[in-house]
Amino acid sequence: MFWNRSNNQPTSGGASGDLGPPLTTRNINSPQTNMFRVRKAPTDALALTNCAVVNREDFDCNHIKHVTVKTGPAHHFIFSLKNDSSLRRGEIAFAVPQRKWAALSLDQEVRVEAHRFQHSEYIASIVVSADFNNKKAVTSEPLNADLMAREFSMQFVGQSFAKGELLVFRFEEKDKNRAHTLSLVVKSIEGIDITKAAIAAGGEGGEAPKPQPIDAGELMANSVIVFDKEEGSMLNLIGKSKGKSAYRSIINPDWDFQKMGIGGLDKEFSGIFRRAFASRVFPPEFIEQLAMKHVRGILLFGPPGTGKTLMARQIGKMLNAREPKIVNGPQILDKYVGESESNVRKLFADAEEEWRRCGANSGLHIIIFDEIDAICKQRGSMAGSSSVHDTVVNQLLSKMDGVEQLNNILVIGMTNRKDMIDEALLRPGRLEVQMEVSLADEAGRLQILKIHTARMREYNKLDPNVDLGDLAKRTKNFSGAEIEGLVRAAQSSAMNRLVKAGGKVQLDPDAIEKLMINSGDFDYALENDIKPAFGRSDESLNKFLDRGMIVWGPEVTKILEEGDLLVASAKNPENSGFVTAVLAGAPRSGKTCLAAQIAKNSEFPFVKVVSPGDMVGFSESAKCQALRKAFDDAKRSKMSVLLIDNMERLLDYSPVGPRYSNLVLQALLVLLNEPPLPDHRLLVLATSSNRSFLRELDLMDAFGHSIDVPLLSTPQQMLNVISDSNVFTSAQLQEIQARLTQLTETHR
């Protein structure tokens, strides 16, 4: 049991019987050998460790890390151990702060027993008050509490600390070539149950444990250290580790998606925690027993605006024991030879230094690369300056998983173009956890809307009639950034109502009280301001439907019904979800109009039109890239329609020769045979005016369905079209009908 001297109350210390390996002390259980005589610390270096010092033959600190020193029936103190051969058997040495804290006098006899902490007594956070140890060395220069916390963690990781304990701490500022010796007092300690934390982080169920106040515990590499200034001290502290503004600890998974400003990414977070977080909860000795290497790299990829950068920054805060380094990919590159590689090495320098000093007890260092594809392109893929990019990739590969491997780093990369990244960077040991951050579903969009409207609801600036659930349904294929833009646009619309535009712009004097964002503001923003990048291409579809859709006969009705069957087949969960069809017919027979109507009737959230008119002047390779991008964009959405109009013009077909683009043809054949991702639905509709040409190129066989679009063939069909045009009067229609009948009889 550990006893607090101040109140003589027992606390939940580890029992001395639960020691694991056998004690390497001769006759340690006999009353004579566990009585020790107090001595001074043999050296100044040992005094700075804040440990008790004994002879190795009494307690071997390789096996017994901590001891309980009993000075009386209710006076028990826990110390970490160091060995020194200058002490004789039966002697235990302390520095002045430890003797003062435990009220020890030289030559006093104390009882010493081995101690081991329980799983719930690992330190999540510790608060210490600081002052200058030597009043003559007082300086008004600010001390960086973040650097102090890092140095404290490296010096004392694995040691025991108790509430009220007096410490001495030497802190060197290498950049300023000066050192300070500080006296510290432990003010409070919070512990966490690492077993429960590991289970929660591994996704095996159960809530993440909350840190609880404890009287003593063992410091871990990622424990949060907070420095307070001792009352009356001249110490000037700066940094995040000052006062109460501490980081989130890696062993304190107490986060809230709503507070972090992230929504719709629950599944992605769960996957990342399971792979990259759970193993880091356990103490280093457990990891060493498994000979385990932590995950050192995560790659987040997906469409723009889906929250990759935001997620990486929040991971940096949640798993943070050291301040994360956030760099944009292009910032690494430098015009001078060797500087780009040097910039990469500097990112890992702090982690290397701490690994050399602390080994497995080193804290976690996080390096976040935004737009990592800018520096990690496929080696040999760039001409001219390729050597610079290649050597940067080589340097990053060697730092992450080279000869001198580091187990205390986590590299997080983000990109929109995973295909551009060198494949060697994606293997296990490097960026091995690859997580796609895709467009949010309806539940995710509702989360995002709640996050971005939380402050408005808090201050009663959002009309209660605004239905966020309905907005989530109407914002299909909106990214997180686009939903945020939608909220801003609605706010701007509401503000605009309170601005009086006369001779000069005037603000309504009661604007603050009157301002209320209502559903009409969101409707206006949806219709006029914000359009999703992966949404319906209504403007392109309406361009083909601007003259209206005329059903001139049962043939048109049959084509539309076949289109509905294609849509139903694509939606059917029992099918592959990949349906292709070509609408073939004579020029100006209405193929594109019919395809556009089928796409519009599908009500799929993503509709993309690929038209030769948008590629005028494109080279063959540029057309291939445009086709690839269109297919990739369509596959990112859960349900998509891709309309490829006028394939002959797209293939540069000419009857003189004949001539066509084989490069574009091969690209189209390949893309039409690549199915979408599981649970994704894609309907590809194409139009063609030359069936024989497509058949010669084997392109007709690439489509699963073929629909013939006929021309008008009977007087009644022509009359139906003329009648629906609403151009002629009834008398004129009768005259036209008579002439058509006469013309038909003449040609019989």
Token pair in block for residue 620: 């063959």
Query: What does the alpha-carbon distance between residue 383 and residue 22 come to, in Å, rounded to a whole number?
Result: 64
On the question of pLDDT at 163 being above 60, the answer is: yes
- Of 190-204, 654-668, 705-719, where does mean pLDDT reach its minimum? 190-204
Q: DSSP assignment of 142-178, as one string? A: -EEHHHHHHHHHHHHTT-EEETT-EEEEEEEETTTTE
Query: What does the alpha-carbon distance between residue 425 and residue 401 come to, in Å, rounded to a whole number?
Result: 10
pLDDT in tens, 673-701: 888 887 788 999 999 888 888 888 888 88
Query: What does the alpha-carbon distance between residue 488 and residue 477 come to, in Å, rounded to a whole number?
Result: 18
Distances (CA, A) of 625 to 17, 491, 630, 635, 697: 70, 38, 9, 15, 21
Mean pLDDT (the chain, rounded): 79
On the question of pLDDT at 38 being above 90, the answer is: yes
* Among 101, 83, 219, CA closest to 151: 219
Q: Mean pLDDT throughout 587-609? A: 86
82 or 394, higher pLDDT = 82
Q: How many CB atoms lie within 10 A of CB 503?
A: 6
On the question of pLDDT at 373 being above 50, the answer is: yes
CA atoms within 13 A on the CB side of 187: 16
Contact 168, 95 (CB under 8 A): yes
pLDDT of residue 25: 39
On the question of pLDDT at 53 being above 90, the answer is: yes
pLDDT of residue 13: 40
pLDDT in tens, 504-538: 666 666 666 777 888 888 888 888 888 777 666 66
Q: What is the residue whose two structure tokens read 């001078």?
A: 336
pLDDT of residue 198: 67
Query: What does the alpha-carbon distance between residue 748 and residue 739 come to, in Å, rounded to a whole number?
Result: 14
Radius of gyration of the chain (CA): 36
Q: Mean pLDDT throughout 438-457? A: 83
Give 407's contacts (C-beta < 8 A, 6+ positions apart): 293, 294, 296, 355, 360, 362
Give 595's contacts (C-beta < 8 A, 6+ positions apart): 544, 563, 583, 643, 645, 685, 686, 687
Token pair in block for residue 706: 């073929």
Maximum Cα–Cα distance for the chain, whole Å?
A: 133
pLDDT of residue 358: 73
Strand order, beta sheet including 365-370: 325-328, 365-370, 409-415, 297-301, 433-436
Model confidence, pTM:
0.60
On the question of pLDDT at 464 being above 90, the answer is: no
Q: How many CB atoms lie within 10 A of CB 597?
A: 20
Q: DSSP assignment of 552-582, as one string? A: -SHHHHHHHHHHHHHHHHHH-TTS-SEEEEE
CA atoms within 13 A on the CB side of 602: 36
pLDDT of residue 114: 92
Q: How many CB atoms lie within 10 A of CB 625?
A: 13
Give 382's contacts (C-beta < 8 A, 6+ positions apart): 389
Residues 534/536/537/543 CA torsion (nearest 10 deg):
180
List, as own/partner pairs, every contact residues 571-577 make where C-beta atoms lie below 8 angstroms and the sequence separation is at least 24, other chains included.
571/639, 571/681, 576/675, 577/675, 577/676, 577/679, 577/680, 577/681, 577/682
On the question of pLDDT at 205 being above 80, the answer is: no
What angle do helix axes 386-401 and 339-358 make, rounded to 10 degrees? 10
* Among 742, 727, 665, 735, CA closest to 701: 665
User: Based on the number of CB atoms within 10 Å of its own CB, is 486 exposed (0-12), middle (13-18) or buried (19 or more)?
Assistant: buried
DSSP letter (8 states) at residue 42 = S
Give 620's contacts (C-beta < 8 A, 6+ positions apart): 652, 661, 663, 664
Beta partners for residue 237, in sequence order: 143
pLDDT in tens, 624-672: 988 998 888 888 778 889 999 888 888 888 877 778 888 988 988 899 8
User: Based on the number of CB atoms within 10 Å of its own CB, is 742 exposed (0-12), middle (13-18) or buried (19 or more)?
Assistant: exposed
Plot region of 167 (φ>0 → left; ψ -120 to 50 → alpha; else → beta):
beta
Contact 57, 51 (CB under 8 A): no
Give 521's contacts (C-beta < 8 A, 6+ positions apart): 490, 491, 493, 494
pLDDT of residue 12: 39
pLDDT of residue 538: 63
Q: How many CB atoms lie within 10 A of CB 520?
A: 15
* Among 276, 376, 267, CA closest to 316: 276
On the question of pLDDT at 319 being above 70, the answer is: no
Query: What does the alpha-carbon distance between residue 57 and residue 25 come to, in Å, rounded to a whole number?
Result: 6
Token pair in block for residue 176: 């300023």
* Among 506, 512, 509, 590, CA closest to 547: 590
182 or 343, higher pLDDT = 182
On the question of pLDDT at 355 being above 60, the answer is: yes
28 or 717, higher pLDDT = 717
Q: How many CB atoms lie within 10 A of CB 661?
A: 17
430 Cα distance to chain centroid: 17
Amino acid at 619: S
State the pLDDT confidence band at 22, using cuts at 50, 70 and 90: very low
Contact 184, 168 (CB under 8 A): yes
Token pair in block for residue 635: 């596959």
Give the total residue count for the chain. Answer: 748
356 or 383, higher pLDDT = 356
Exposure letters 390-416 (e unless 16+ CB within 10 A, then b): bbbbbbbbbbbbeeeebbbbbbbbbbe
Instruction: Give the torsion sign (CA, 611, 612, 618, 621).
Output: positive
